[in-house]
């Protein structure tokens, strides 16, 4: 079976893992919760694939000798058995607490067609026959875990299948052949089929499902600097009606990875089950990201005269700064300036029901660029603003956008006399709202990707904001290749 | 960083000015007073940004027409975030002059200034061309205390005050109109000036008593206290009195100085406004005290006239402060120039000078700023 033809029991089964002791003790920053509905969908999709695979079952020939009253001995052959069609109808995929999942298929049928040959002495008969194998039930346990690299694993165990009913229609309709079939072939055929089904399942789990699960990213790229670590923290928990998968969810600097300063707190997930899957993202994930952005210098800015358009008449020099500091030219007649903005500390995302907010505190320091010595600091301002964040959940990425409010500016210190703070505040707000925030939003629009295996699309997205975490619900669509 | 727009919503043009040319704008050391004279053929408009932090601002257009800029600016545009910048401008006094301005641009600027804290606006030597639709909302202009117009012509001619008024907030206290091209207001369209205390029509030599009737729209100036009519071609004090009576204008102070007043032999009795308590008849070439003055006054200024004899008590109303300085008779009787100890400068109430400096007031009294 080719790996590309789609896994057996695919889609959300892709999130099922063999539980082995992982990095015990750490809490995940991202939890994916698969509900009954999700498992139901997975089973449905999986069944379609299984159906296709079952049609490829090869069945052996049945040959033997017969001995019939009045006819004596002869040789029979039931050969060229081919599965015509397969219909798997009833399925249920349920969590198996402590182990993984249990899949049960019922009320299913297989249609087989074949040819028969019978010969006695030099008399040969031949014909074709149709088999209607009904009421097939299959049950298999899928054990979930994770390997040392944090990748998911799955093995099938305890597979059993049973055929309850079998209808045969032999051409010619000869009684003796029918009896022959029922006495000598039927039970053998049943056993063969039952074994073949389980064999098929075992093989598919190893060669299709397992590789499919491995398409879940362990690290995903956000941009050329940042990545996110999605390795599994521990074995997934199977509970009465849902399965929780625990991802580390740690954003890191790809050039310079340091362990996060503080551990992730536990998230208490609500009992929602309207949708197929829910992703809980701890605000800790954002705060780690914020720290990383901060340390990588993303949150600082510097404005110098050469950054203004060359044909702009307004420059960044002491003469142009007089409206804010009229007396600056007394000491620095006509020199270029630099404004350096730093975020005082990494802004923390405050997630509370209804809104997400950040309160970054910035300092802007003004420097005069002296011709022959180091820049001299001439004033310092503190800038405080409330920023509200909105998140959109776009297909497979979470993207954010900041909606800033007006910044409040206060003068900390001026070495050049009077400072027109209100006027500066209004120009700063104009710059922030028209240039800086749009640039930040462009950065946030890159989003960070959710851990999903291949060919999965999310829709019906629903975002809830809880205390300390975001809860994103979605329904799943598996794109059949 | 987006370039900050200069004043008047004018877009910045690439630099044509050579660096050696002096800049059009100057800001004083304290950053309080800023003055711009855009008299060069191609001035550096963006230099106006220098005035963003000043309190007292002047913009002179060098006599040019601003019509070409109208194409580049959408005067109806929603100012959006720019309003915050305007709000933060510390401008208190603005003077705009020496230009030909299309009305939409002028009123667009007034609309923008509505977001600022501007208190005094002076328009000098402007030619306002064309006309424009009234604002969508009333009173979108600045909340001015004082509005001064000097040599401003309007395309709407007689209807200009009514048109301009739509853009002003109703709190105007002082209105000065000098060298007007028309004071023949279409009174029906003029709205009430509920807070106007001082109306100064000085320096309109052609006005005369007849012109004054058309200017003093009835019932439009309910709070008026001071009327200044210096150099307005008035002929007789009693003539002015009848105009005031016809217009039913209440006054406390009337300034008729710098008019050539005639003496009328028989002046018909006229009811002066009942609250009138200050009358300035200085520099009016009076040879004798006119007849028909109010019977009782707090201040009567007859200084710098041609009185050749000291006025007799029966010629005068009952006056608390009588000013007679600068009259010829004082040369003969140097000690009777003062009935009470009074200060020679004109009463502060009638001094409508901008500057606080006392010298300016004296110079004005001496007619140097007629």
Q: In this model, does residue A9 exceed pLDDT 60?
A: no
Which chain A residues have a beta carbon less than 8 Å from that of B55? none
Query: Over the Cα atoms of chain A, what is R_g?
Result: 34
Do residue A330 and residue B29 have CB atoms under 8 angstroms apart? yes
| Residue A199 CB partners (closer than 8 Å, separation 6+) | none
Say which residue the tokens 């210098």 belong to: A297
Please tell me the predicted confidence (pLDDT) of residue B361: 47
Q: Strand A469-478: give its sheet, edge to edge.
A: A237-238, A242-247, A30-35, A277-282, A469-478, A456-466
Distance CA A58, CA A365 (A): 78
Which residue from A479, A459, A455 is spatially nearest to A211, judged by alpha carbons?
A455
Q: In this model, does residue A78 exceed pLDDT 80?
A: yes
Distance CA B175, CA B201 (A): 8
Which residue, among B22, B24, B31, would best test binding to A if mutated, counting the most A CBs under 10 Å from its CB? Answer: B31
- Segment A313-349, tens digit of pLDDT: 778 899 889 999 999 999 998 899 999 988 887 777 7
Q: Is A172 left (phi over 0), alpha (psi -120 to 50) or beta?
A: left
Provide the 10 A C-beta neighbour count for residue A334: 9
- Segment A20-69, tens digit of pLDDT: 233 445 788 899 999 999 999 988 888 888 888 888 888 888 888 877 77
A145-159, A239-253, A393-407, A451-465: least confident range: A393-407
Which chain B residues have a beta carbon less than 8 Å from that of A433? 81
Q: What is the mean pLDDT of residues A283-305?
A: 79
The answer to whether residue B199 sits within a structural domain is yes
Which residue from B11, B178, B183 is spatially nearest to B97, judged by alpha carbons?
B178
Instruction: Compare all CA atoms of chain A with the CA of B43 and give the residue at the minimum distance.
Output: A313
Of A313, A425, A434, the CB nearest to B2: A434
Distance CA A388, CA A359 (A): 9
Which residue from B156, B158, B167 is spatially nearest to B188, judged by alpha carbons?
B158
Bridge partner residues of B65 (DSSP): B100
Distance CA B85, CA B81 (A): 7
Which residue from A156, A152, A151, A185 is spatially nearest to A168, judged by alpha carbons?
A185
Strands (E), A88-122: 90-96, 100-120
Backbone angles phi, psi at A306, to 5 degrees: -75, -5
**Helix or strand run (H / E) with residue A289:** helix A283-295
Instruction: Compare all CA atoms of chain B with the CA of A420 and give the residue at the minimum distance.
Output: B53
- CATH code (residue B148): 3.80.10.10
Stated pTM of the model: 0.69
Contact A290, A298 (CB under 8 A): no
Q: Compare B323 and A73 and report the one with higher pLDDT.
A: B323
Backbone angles phi, psi at A191, to 5 degrees: -60, -45
Q: In this model, does residue A245 exceed pLDDT 70?
A: yes
Q: In this model, does residue A225 exceed pLDDT 90?
A: no
Instruction: Compare all CA atoms of chain B with the CA of A311 and give the residue at the minimum distance.
Output: B14
Of A307, A314, A434, the CB nearest to B49: A314
Which residue from B329, B253, B249 is spatially nearest to B286, judged by alpha carbons?
B329
Contact B228, B198 (CB under 8 A): yes
ipTM of the complex: 0.72
A310 to chain B, any CB pair closer than 8 A? The answer is no
Cα A262 from chain centre:
25
| Residue A129 CB partners (closer than 8 Å, separation 6+) | A78, A113, A114, A115, A116, A168, A169, A170, A171, A181
Q: What is the mean pLDDT of residues A209-216?
A: 86
Do residue B87 and residue A426 have CB atoms under 8 angstroms apart? yes
The count of residues in chain A is: 481
Mean pLDDT (chain A) is 83
User: Any long-range contacts for B362-368 (C-beta under 8 Å, 24+ apart)?
Assistant: B365/B282, B367/B258, B367/B283
Q: How far is B2 from chain A (nearest CA, A)?
A: 7
Count of the separate structural domains present in chain B: 1
Do residue B88 and residue A426 have CB atoms under 8 angstroms apart? yes
Distance CA A14, CA B89 (A): 62
- Segment A177-188, tens digit of pLDDT: 777 778 777 888
Q: What is the DSSP letter of A82?
A: E
Joined tokens for residue A46: 């999986």
Do residue B90 and residue A422 have CB atoms under 8 angstroms apart? yes
Do residue B53 and residue A326 have CB atoms under 8 angstroms apart? yes
Which residue, among B88, B89, B112, would best test binding to A if mutated, counting the most A CBs under 10 Å from its CB? Answer: B88
Helix, coil or strand: residue B63: strand
Provide the 10 A C-beta neighbour count for residue A295: 13
Residue B298 is part of which domain span? 4-365
CATH number of A36-212: 3.15.10.10
Which residue from A207, A212, A235 is spatially nearest to A150, judged by alpha carbons?
A235
Of B44, B87, B90, the CB nearest to A313: B44
Distances B160 to A462, B97, B186 between C-alpha atoms, Å:
60, 18, 9
Joined tokens for residue B226: 């001071």
Q: Compare A14 and B30 and report the one with higher pLDDT.
A: B30
Strands (E), A309-447: 337-343, 350-352, 355-358, 361-368, 376-384, 387-394, 397-404, 408-414
What count of Cα atoms within 13 Å lies in the side-chain half-sphere of residue A138? 33
Distance CA A72, CA A65 (A): 10
| Residue B202 CB partners (closer than 8 Å, separation 6+) | B176, B178, B228, B229, B230, B231, B232, B255, B258, B352
**pLDDT bucket at A4, cuts 50 / 70 / 90:** very low
Please tell me the predicted confidence (pLDDT) of residue A380: 95
| Residue A25 CB partners (closer than 8 Å, separation 6+) | none
Bridge partner residues of A96 (DSSP): A100
Distances A23 to A100, A248, A249, A325, B291 between C-alpha atoms, Å:
19, 10, 13, 58, 111
Cα B8 from chain centre:
23
Q: Sort strands A397-404 and A387-394 into parallel, antiparallel or unpaired.
A: antiparallel
Q: Strand A387-394: give its sheet, edge to edge.
A: A350-352, A355-358, A387-394, A397-404, A448-449
Do residue A311 and residue B88 have CB atoms under 8 angstroms apart? no
Contact B279, B256 (CB under 8 A): yes
Contact B277, B299 (CB under 8 A): yes
Contact A392, A407 (CB under 8 A): no
User: Any long-range contacts for A89-95 (C-beta under 8 Å, 24+ apart)?
Assistant: A91/A43, A91/A44, A91/A46, A91/A47, A92/A40, A92/A43, A93/A9, A93/A13, A93/A39, A93/A40, A93/A42, A93/A43, A93/A46, A94/A39, A95/A39, A95/A238, A95/A239, A95/A240, A95/A241, A95/A242, A95/A243
Distance CA A288, CA B57 (A): 51
User: Residue-wise pLDDT tens for chain B (370 aa)?
Assistant: 223 343 333 433 333 444 556 889 999 988 899 999 998 888 888 889 999 999 999 999 988 888 888 777 665 666 677 888 899 999 999 999 999 999 988 998 999 899 999 999 999 999 999 888 888 787 789 999 999 999 999 998 888 998 999 899 999 999 999 999 888 888 898 999 999 999 999 999 999 999 999 999 988 999 999 999 999 999 988 889 999 998 888 899 999 999 998 877 666 678 899 999 999 999 999 888 888 888 899 999 999 999 888 888 888 889 999 999 999 888 876 555 445 444 444 444 444 444 444 554 454 444 544 4
Q: What is the mean pLDDT of residues A109-124?
A: 86
The answer to whether residue B245 sits within a structural domain is yes
CATH number of A219-471: 3.15.20.10
Q: What is the mean pLDDT of residues A173-180?
A: 76
Query: Over the Cα atoms of chain B, what is R_g?
Result: 23
Q: In this model, does residue A427 exceed pLDDT 80?
A: yes
Residues 375-434 of A with CB under 8 A from B: 406, 418, 420, 422-423, 425-427, 429-431, 433-434
Do residue A323 and residue B44 have CB atoms under 8 angstroms apart? no
Q: In this model, does residue A17 exceed pLDDT 80?
A: no
Query: H helices then E strands: how many in chain A?
Result: 8, 25
| Residue A134 CB partners (closer than 8 Å, separation 6+) | A109, A163, A164, A165, A166, A167
Share of chain A above pLDDT 90, in %: 18
Joined tokens for residue B168: 């002003």
Residue spans of alpha helices (H) in chain B = 67-70, 82-88, 103-113, 160-165, 208-215, 237-246, 329-332, 358-365
The answer to whether residue B104 sits within a structural domain is yes
Residue spans of alpha helices (H) in A145-260 = 175-180, 186-204, 210-213
Please tell me the predicted confidence (pLDDT) of residue B336: 53
What stretch(es) of chain A map to CATH 3.15.20.10?
A: 219-471
Joined tokens for residue B243: 């105009």
A242-246, A452-456, B85-89: least confident range: A452-456
Backbone angles phi, psi at B123, to 5 degrees: -115, 125
Which residue from A170, A50, A187 is spatially nearest to A112, judged by alpha carbons?
A170
The answer to whether residue B370 sits within a structural domain is no
What stretch(es) of chain A map to CATH 3.15.10.10?
A: 36-212
Distance CA B118, CA B83 (A): 14
Contact A102, A71 (CB under 8 A): no
């Amino acid at each position: 079976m080719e790996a590309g033809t789609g896994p057996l029991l695919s889609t959300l089964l892709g999130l099922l893992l063999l539980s082995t002791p992982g990095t015990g003790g750490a809490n995940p920053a991202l939890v994916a919760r698969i509900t009954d509905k999700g498992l139901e969908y997975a089973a449905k999709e999986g069944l379609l694939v299984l159906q296709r695979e079952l049609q490829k079952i090869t069945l052996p020939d049945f040959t033997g000798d017969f001995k019939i009253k009045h006819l004596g001995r002869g040789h029979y052959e039931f050969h060229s058995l081919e599965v015509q069609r397969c219909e798997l109808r009833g399925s249920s995929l349920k969590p198996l607490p402590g182990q993984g999942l249990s899949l049960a298929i019922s009320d299913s049928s297989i249609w087989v067609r074949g040819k028969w040959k019978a010969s006695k002495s030099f008399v040969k008969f031949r014909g074709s026959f149709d088999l209607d194998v009904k009421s097939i039930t299959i049950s298999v346990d899928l054990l979930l875990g994770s390997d040392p690299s944090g990748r998911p694993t799955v093995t099938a165990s305890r597979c059993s299948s049973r055929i309850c009913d079998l209808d045969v229609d032999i051409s010619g309709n000869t009684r003796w052949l029918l009896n022959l079939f029922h006495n000598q072939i039927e039970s053998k055929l049943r056993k063969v089929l039952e074994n073949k089904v389980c064999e098929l399942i075992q093989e598919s789990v190893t060669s299709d499902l397992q590789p499919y699960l491995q398409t879940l990213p362990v690290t995903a790229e956000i941009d050329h600097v940042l990545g996110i670590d999605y390795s599994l923290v521990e074995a997934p928990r199977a509970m009465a009606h849902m399965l929780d998968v625990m991802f580390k969810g740690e954003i890191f600097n790809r050039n310079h990875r340091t362990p996060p300063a503080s551990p992730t707190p536990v998230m208490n997930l609500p009992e929602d089950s309207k949708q197929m899957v829910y992703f809980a993202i701890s605000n800790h994930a954002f705060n780690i990201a914020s720290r990383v952005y901060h340390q990588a210098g993303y949150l600082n800015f510097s404005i110098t005269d050469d950054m203004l358009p060359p044909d702009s008449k307004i420059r960044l020099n002491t003469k142009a700064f007089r409206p804010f500091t009229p007396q600056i030219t007394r000491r620095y007649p006509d020199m270029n300036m630099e404004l350096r903005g730093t975020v005082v500390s990494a802004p923390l995302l405050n997630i509370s029901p209804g809104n997400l907010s950040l309160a970054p505190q910035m300092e802007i320091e003004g420097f005069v660029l002296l011709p022959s010595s180091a820049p001299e600091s001439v004033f310092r301002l503190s800038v405080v603003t409330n920023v509200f964040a909105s998140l959109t959940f776009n297909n497979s990425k979470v993207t954010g956008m900041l909606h800033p409010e007006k910044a409040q500016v206060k003068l900390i210190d001026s070495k050049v006399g009077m400072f027109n703070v209100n006027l500066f505040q209004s120009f700063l707000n104009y710059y922030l709202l028209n240039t800086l925030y749009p640039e930040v939003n462009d950065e946030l629009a890159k989003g960070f990707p959710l851990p999903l295996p291949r060919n999965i699309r999310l829709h019906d997205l629903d975002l809830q904001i809880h205390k300390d975490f975001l809860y994103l619900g979605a329904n799943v669509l598996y794109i059949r290749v | 960083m987006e370039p900050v727009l200069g004043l008047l919503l004018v877009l910045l043009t690439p630099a044509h000015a050579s660096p050696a040319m002096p800049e059009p704008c100057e800001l004083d050391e304290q950053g309080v007073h800023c003055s711009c004279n855009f008299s060069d053929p191609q001035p550096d408009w963006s230099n106006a940004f220098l005035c963003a932090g000043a309190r007292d601002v002047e913009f002179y257009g060098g006599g040019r027409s601003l019509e070409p800029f109208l194409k580049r600016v959408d005067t109806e545009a929603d100012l959006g975030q720019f309003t915050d910048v305007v709000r933060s401008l510390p401008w208190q006094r603005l003077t705009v002059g020496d230009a030909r301005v299309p009305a939409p641009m002028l009123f667009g600027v007034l609309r923008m200034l509505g977001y600022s804290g501007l208190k005094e606006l002076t328009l000098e030597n402007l030619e306002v061309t064309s006309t424009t639709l009234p604002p969508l909302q009333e009173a979108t202009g600045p909340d001015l205390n004082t509005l001064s117009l000097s040599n401003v012509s309007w395309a709407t001619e007689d209807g200009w005050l009514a048109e301009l008024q739509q853009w002003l907030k109703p709190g105007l206290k002082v209105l000065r109109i000098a060298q007007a091209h028309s004071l023949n207001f279409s009174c029906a369209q003029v709205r009430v000036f509920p807070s106007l205390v001082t109306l100064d029509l000085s320096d309109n030599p052609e006005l005369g008593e007849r012109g004054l009737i058309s200017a003093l729209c009835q019932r439009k100036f309910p709070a008026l206290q001071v009327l200044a009519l210096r150099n307005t071609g008035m002929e007789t004090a009693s003539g002015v009195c009848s105009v005031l009576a016809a217009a039913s204008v209440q006054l406390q102070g009337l300034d008729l100085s710098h008019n050539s007043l005639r003496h009328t032999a028989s002046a018909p009795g006229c009811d002066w406004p009942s609250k009138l308590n200050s009358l300035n008849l200085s520099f009016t070439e009076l040879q004798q005290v006119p007849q028909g003055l109010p019977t009782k006054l707090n201040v009567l200024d007859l200084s710098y006239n041609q009185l050749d004899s000291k006025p007799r008590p029966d010629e005068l109303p009952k006056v608390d402060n009588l000013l007679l300085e600068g009259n010829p008779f004082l040369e003969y009787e140097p000690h009777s120039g003062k009935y009470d100890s009074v200060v020679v400068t004109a009463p502060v109430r009638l001094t409508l000078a901008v500057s606080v400096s006392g010298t300016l007031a004296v110079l004005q009294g001496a007619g140097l700023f007629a």
